[in-house]
Structure 1
Amino acid sequence: MHRRVYLAALGTAVSASLAGCSSAVSGVAGDPCSGEDCHIGMNRTQFLPDVYEISVGDTVVWKNTSEADHTITAYDNGIPDGADFFATGGFEDQESARHAWQGQRGGRLGTRETFEHTFEVPGTYEYFCIPHERAEMNGKIVVSE
């Protein structure tokens, strides 16, 4: 009989312990840049957050907070007229960035590496991760005056 009481108490303690772990994990997964020097983090197939709002002249810092390699690549037709194209690796357009990735993983942002870009033109900027585009890893920066 004492054995059943012990096992029941042990099960309750383990459940309480795991409940605390799951909430801690979900908090980290939701905001990987909390307490970090970045604005947008990444998991395996998502930018976190996937929509980020700023003002003209602000700089956004992305940080690869996952174990996978990623890129940050603007869509050529997804940035406002007159805005600068942006991509990890410093490429001047989407085609060059794709070609570099396919050839030698050009523009690769490794784990814990950062990339930053300053937005000077108001509007919506759409971007994606080349190796995870099929998994719909994309994001938007909304820049207002």
Structure 2
Amino acid sequence: MVRRLALSAVLAAICLLGGPSSCGLFGPAHGRPDSQADAVIDMSFHNYKPSTLTIYAGQTVEWRNISLVPHSVTNDPALALYTQDARRPDGVAPFNSGKVKAGDIILFRFPTPGVYRYFCIYHEKQRMVGEITVLPPP
């Protein structure tokens, strides 16, 4: 019992000192990147990587949840704690991926130029937000 408690304390210290990656909170997505994606964004502990991206209208972005916790890609101001985290061009409907489980991959095609600001429903308080600038087609 004492040995287990000591081991637990050591593991907790490693996690606290080494950060989430030393605790096994990051890993490869279970699926392969989609060949149709023009850009890839990883959803890790409490952030999107990269957090900003510029693409052209008509291109597709792939989000991969490489953490062990669920995330979302949400652009609906009705679901936001902070309305500034949900921005999109006029006339574009809001989007919400729903729960993206660990290892899952989602795709979204951006047909309309403009700035899209999105957030994770589960981690918006931790400032898990991203922004995609969509330029007119070349």
The question of a shared fold, defined as TM-score above 0.5 by the shorter chain, is answered with yes
How many residue pairs get aligned? The number is 95
Larger Rg: 1
2:51 equivalent in structure 1: 50
Q: CA RMSD in A?
A: 2.0
Q: Read off the aligned partner of 2:116 and give its amino acid letter.
A: Y
Q: TM-score, normalised by structure 2?
A: 0.63
CA contact (8 A) 1:83 1:120 kept: no
Cα shift at 1:84: 3.4
Q: Read off the aligned partner of 2:94 and give its amino acid letter.
A: F
Q: In the alignment, is residue 134 of structure 1 matched against residue 135 of structure 2?
A: no
1:80 to 83, 86, 89: 89
Q: How does 1:89-128 map to 2 (within 5 A)?
A: 107-128=98-119
The structure whose residues are more often strand, as a share, is 2
**Which whole-Å deviations, capped at 9, do the CAs of 1:79-132 have from their partners, x for residues lacking one?**
0012232211xxxxxxxxxxxxxxxxxx21111101111111111100000110
Structure 1 segments unaligned to the other structure (5+ residues): 1-24, 26-31, 89-106
Q: Which runs of 4+ in 1 moved over 4 A?
A: none
**Which whole-Å deviations, capped at 9, do the CAs of 1:52-74 have from their partners, x for residues lacking one?**
11000001110101111111101
Q: TM-score, normalised by structure 1?
A: 0.60
The structure whose residues are more often helix, as a share, is 1
Structure 2 segments unaligned to the other structure (5+ residues): 1-20, 22-27, 34-38, 78-85
Q: How does 1:51-70 map to 2 (within 5 A)?
A: 51-70=52-71
* Distance in 1 (alpha carbons) for counterparts of 2:40 and 2:53: 8
Q: Read off the aligned partner of 1:134 and give its amino acid letter.
A: K
